[in-house]
Amino acid sequence: MIQVENLRKEFKKTIKEPGLKGSFKSLFKPKTERVVAVDDISFEVPKGEILGFIGPNGAGKSTVIKMLTGILTPTSGRCTINGKNPTVNRKSYVKEIGVVFGQRTQLWWDLPLRETYGVLKEIYEVDEKSYRERMAFLNETLDLESFISSPVRTLSLGQRMRADIAASLLHSPKVLFLDEPTIGLDVVVKDNIRRAIEQINRQEQTTVILTTHDLADIELLADRIVMIDKGKNVFDGSVGELKTRYGQMRELNFVTDSTDPESALSYREHFSLDSEDVSVKREGSSVKVRFNSEAVAVSDILAYTLATVRVNDISVKDADIEEIIRRLYKQGVD
Partner 1 sequence: MKRAFRIYFPFINAGMQETATYRVNWIFYILGSVLGCFVSYFIWHAVFLSGEGETMNGFTLPQMIVYIFLIFLTSTMIGSDAAWAVGEEVRDGSIAMRLIKPVSYNATFLFQELGNKLLTEMFLVVPLIAGLEIVRTILVGSLQFSVVNLLIYLCSCVLAYLINFFFNICFGFIAFVIKYLWGANMMKNCIVGFLSGAIIPLSFLPETLGRIFMILPFASLNYTPVMIYMGVYQGAELLYFLGLQVFWALFFWGLSKLLWVISVKRLSVQGG
Partner 2 sequence: MKQIKRLFRIHRIFVAQELKRMMEYKGDFIVGVIGFLMVQCSNLLFLWIIFNNIPSLMGWSLNEVVFIYGFSLIPKGIDHLFFDNLWAIGHFTVRKGDFDKYLTRPVNTLVHVMFEKLQIDALGELVMGIALVCVSLPQLSIEWSVLKVLLGIAAIFFATFIFTGIKTITAAVAFWSKRSGNIIYMVYMFNDFAKYPVTIYNEFVKNLITYVIPFAFTAYYPALYLLTGENPLYNVGMTVLLSAALMSLGVFVWNRGIRAYESAGS
Task: Write down the least CB distance from residue 153 to partner 2, Å.
Answer: 12
11 binds partner 2 (CB under 8 A): yes
Query: Residue 23's binding partner, choosing from partner 2, partner 1, none, with beta-carbon cut-off 5 to 8 A by kind?
Result: partner 1
Binder of partner 2 out of 66, 160, 250, 327 (CB under 8 A): 66
Count CA atoms closer than 13 A to 66's CA, side-chain side. 13
Alpha helices, DSSP H only, in 82-148? Answer: 90-94, 113-123, 128-142
Q: Which of partner 2, partner 1, none interacts with 27 (beta carbon under 5 to 8 A by kind)?
A: partner 1
Q: Cα separation of 127 and 121, whole Å?
A: 8
Give the torsion through C-alpha atoms of 270, 272, 275, 277, to 10 deg.
-90
218-251 b/e (C-beta count within 10 Å ≥ 16 → b): bebbbebbbbbbbbbbbbeeebeebbeebbbbbe
For the bound state, the minimum distance from the C-beta of residue 109 to partner 1, rounded and expressed in Å, comes to: 17
Sign of CA dihedral 283, 287, 293, 296: positive
List the interface residues with partner 2, window 85-124 (CB under 8 A): 90-92, 94-95, 97, 99, 101, 103-104, 106, 108, 110-111, 115, 118-119, 122-124
User: Considering the rule CB under 8 A, would residue 125 count as an interface residue with partner 2?
Assistant: yes
Q: Rg of the chain over CA atoms, in angstroms?
A: 24
Contact residues: partner 1, CB under 8 A = 19-20, 23-24, 27
230 binds partner 2 (CB under 8 A): no
Give the C-alpha separation, 247 to 319, whole Å.
Answer: 7
Q: Which is nearer to partner 1, 20 or 188 (CB)?
A: 20
- Cα–Cα distances (Å) from 76 to 1, 170, 234, in that order, read 20, 32, 20
Phi and psi (nearest 5°) for 88? -85, -50
Least distance from C-beta 151 to partner 1, angstroms? Answer: 17
Min separation Cβ 16 and partner 1, Å: 9
CB 121 within 8 A of CB 138: no
Q: Which is nearer to partner 1, 23 or 253 (CB)?
A: 23
CA pair distance 226, 230, nearest whole angstrom:
13
Angle at the Cα of 185 from the Cα atoms of 135 and 2, rounded to 5 degrees: 60
Q: How far apart are CA 168 and CA 177, in angstroms?
A: 9
Evaluate whether 281 touches 287 at the Cβ level (below 8 Å): yes
- Binding partner of residue 334 among partner 2, partner 1, none, CB under 5 to 8 Å per kind? none
Smallest gap from residue 226 Cβ to partner 2 (A) = 17
Determine if 136 is a binding residue for partner 2 (CB under 8 A): no
Shortest Å distance, C-beta 267 to partner 2: 39
Can residue 311 be called a binding residue for partner 2 (CB under 8 A)?
no
**Which does residue 124 bind out of partner 1, partner 2, none, counting CB within 5 to 8 angstroms by kind?**
partner 2
Closest to partner 2 by CB, 2 or 319: 2
Q: Which does 317 bind (CB under 5 to 8 A by kind): partner 2, partner 1, none?
A: none
State which residue, 24 or 298, has the beta carbon closest to partner 1. 24
326 neighbors 319 (Cβ within 8 angstroms): no
* C-beta closer to partner 2: residue 11 or 246: 11
Tell me whether residue 124 or residue 246 sits nearer to partner 2 (CB atom).
Answer: 124
Interface with partner 2 (CB under 8 A): 11, 57-58, 61-62, 66, 69-73, 90-92, 94-95, 97, 99, 101, 103-104, 106, 108, 110-111, 115, 118-119, 122-125
